[in-house]
Structure 1
Amino acid sequence: MQDTEMQPALAAMLDQERAGLRLIIGNKNISSWSMRPWVAMKAFGIPFEEVRIVLDRQDTTSRIAEYSAAGRVPVLLAGDITVWDSLAICEYLAEQFSILNLWPEDVAARATARSICAEMHSGFSSLRSDMPMDIRASLPGKGRTIGSQADIGRISEIWEDCLSLYGAHEFLFGAFSIADAFYAPVVMRFRTYGVSLAPALQAYADRVLAHPAVAQWVREALMETEGLPRHDDSAED
């Protein structure tokens, strides 16, 4: 990227910062939907203020309602604009910071990336319910149901196809993108529940874990102290 191309991007970032870009998230240990836009923003150097709301508390609903009538996290506040839903937030960021290429540049790769993110967004319900994200836990072998095993198989297929067609054995589409941010919580689940992967897929999962944005999220999740006797994804989207 040329310096002359970077100047508008930097100016856009500063404009967003002055507008008070804020991301409302849940606990880092369990809020997989919050993780997605947070990791994307950190990975691409988009400045924002983090507002963390602890889930599964008596005041959780009222606190989230201060930022969004939808009653779910994450929520992005950009000046007078409110964007809720993790995929909508990432699409908004991709538009506002287009020079940074949050989506792959290639048309076919970008279409595939959007498709697999939409599939993650609307599918894999068994994986989410049977193997909820819990970064601090180690639960090898737990949550293995027919449904979750089917979801694991489909995710493995997606990763294999993307790495083979576009990834050049790095991230799903070569450079880190929204797609990798969307599947980062899956990497967390696979680690927590001890899911065995083919060597190439495990190597991909390891690269995601080592990415600075993901590594920072994990570090901060491990520092959280809230006890979590119960969790579902009703306050997340």
Structure 2
Amino acid sequence: MIPDLYIANKNYSSWSLRPWVLLRHLQIPFNERLMPFAGDATSAIYRTFSPSGKVPCLTHGDIVVWDSLAIFEYLAELHPQVWPIHAKARAWARCASAEMHAGFAHLRSICTMNCGLRVRMAGILPELQGDLDRIDDLWNQGLERFGGPFLAGNQFTAVDAAFAPVAFRIQTYDLPMSGAALEYVDQLLDLPAMREWYEAALREEWRDERHEQEAHLAGDWMEDLRS
């Protein structure tokens, strides 16, 4: 039985991207169920398939998994390539993924994901710079420790999927990274699965007012590449 993955707009939904790109890159079959944001009605609509009223949500027969990190772990029970093979790399990858899942609130709130925009920020607040510095350190640490080209070794795993939305944010807002971390951004953006997501995001005609306003607050829109 092929699982169903419920996601929201590809232009905006960073949480949806994480399990989607993992499944697509690892060539694990799934049915995509795209449910666009619907303003104030979104939560009620999403509760018809997701207990939290949020996406992503994976359904597999009568099993429902409604959190991105939990989806990683559920998939890993069925597909061991979801996490790195070696114990040290696997432990590091799980810690880094959990840190991404729970942290970096300033990056999330100031630089909302909007794949189709190019935004010039007036400046980078210290709290945002703190998030960026930590991501830069974490990425360079993983790439050096495990030899790259991915964060925990030579294979794309869940930890790369966990940070995939950051690559789109860096592209949208021209955020600074250093060393191998900068090259890693380009590598993520060039993955076939990431290009597929990005091209679909640009074709979307839906607009969600809350996400649009958040992007306006971030800075001046230099380009809008969406349909």
TM-score by length of structure 1 reads 0.85
5+ residue gaps, structure 1, are 1-15, 233-237
Q: Which residue of 2 is the match for residue 60 of structure 1?
A: 42
Q: Which of 74, 86, 90 in structure 2 is aligned with 1:110?
A: 90
Cα deviations by residue, 1:104-136 (Å, 9 ceiling, x for unpaired): 001010000000000000000010001111101
SS in 1 for 2:117: coil
Q: Which residue of 2 is the match for residue 45 of structure 1?
A: 27
Following superposition, the deviation at residue 93 of structure 1 comes to 0.4
Cα distance in 2 between the residues matched to 1:106 and 1:112 = 10
Q: Which of 78, 100, 114 in structure 1 is aligned with 2:60?
A: 78
1:71-220 map, 5 Å? 71-98=53-80, 101-141=81-121, 144-166=124-146, 168-173=147-152, 174-220=154-200
Q: Is the 8 A contact 2:97 2:162 kept in 1?
A: yes
Following superposition, the deviation at residue 144 of structure 1 comes to 2.2
Q: Is the 8 A contact 1:163 1:169 kept in 2?
A: yes
Cα distance in 1 between the residues matched to 2:201 and 2:194 = 10
TM-score by length of structure 2 reads 0.89
Aligned-residue Cα RMSD (Å) equals: 1.4
Cα deviations by residue, 1:179-212 (Å, 9 ceiling, x for unpaired): 1111010011011000122242221111101111
**Counterpart code for 2:151:** L
1:214-229 map, 5 Å? 214-229=194-209
Cα distance in 2 between the residues matched to 1:94 and 1:108 = 17
Q: Is the 8 A contact 1:142 1:193 kept in 2?
A: no
Cα distance in 2 between the residues matched to 1:142 and 1:178 = 33
Cα distance in 1 between the residues matched to 2:118 and 2:34 = 24
For these two proteins, the number of residue pairs brought into alignment is: 211
Following superposition, the deviation at residue 229 of structure 1 comes to 2.1
Deviates more, 1:149-158 or 1:211-220: 211-220
